[in-house]
Amino acid sequence: MSNDAAVERTDESRIEDRIRDSLERADIDPDRVAEKAYSFRMLLEAGLDESDAETLRRRFSLPWSFETDGDLDRRSTTVRGLGDAEREWVVASADEDWQAFENVSPPDEPTESADEPERPYPHPTPLERVTGVGPDDADRLATAGITSAERLATIRAAEVAEVLELNVLHVRTWRHNARELLEETS
């Protein structure tokens, strides 16, 4: 190993000497493991101890296996922690047609009126409807994220007045008027 490679090796990519020796005894290049050239299954098949292979798999985020044929079925029986529903999904997804969708035609008639789309909440009340708030005031409040009477009714007047460099009494009056407006409309 060159000095440059030794300098580049970080604590996270460093392989413990004991595991490095085990890798070399199994004819596995430790640097290639760090480059993710080996899978967890390949390490086990080469004769590496399972706990060492698991340590390397976690440290370097090694793939379980590079094989894909039947791998999902095999893993579903060997991976610990899968529930019955997950095992059933794995079995069902082994079929080629598992993601096939039926041809669904659009309904002949729309179920909702095209004139009025469903809206789960009321339209916001414009700031200009609040007594004392003019178009310029509304623009200024909008720069602070206050774009409706509903929002104006919930603000902290002192904070808004400070941020927008307004008289706190004006902001409190607007807040009060917004609350009254909303009470009238509800």
CA dist., res. 128 & res. 110, Å (int): 37
pLDDT on residue 96: 63
> What is the amino acid identity at position 152?
L
Q: Return the domain boundaries, the chain.
A: 10-60, 69-94, 127-185
pLDDT on residue 160: 92
First to last CA, the chain: 77
Extract the residue ranges of the chain whose pLDDT is less than 50: 1-10
Q: Which residues fall within 8 angstroms of residue 26, CB to CB, at 6 or more apart?
A: 43, 46, 47, 48
pLDDT digits (tens, 9 = 90+) for 113-147: 556 667 677 789 999 999 999 999 999 999 999 99
pLDDT on residue 3: 45
Question: Residue 91 — left, alpha, or beta (φ > 0 → left; ψ -120 to 50 → alpha)?
Answer: alpha
CA dist., res. 174 & res. 168, Å (int): 10
* Domain 127-185: CATH class, spelled out: mainly alpha
Is residue 164 within 8 A of residue 140, CB to CB? The reply is yes
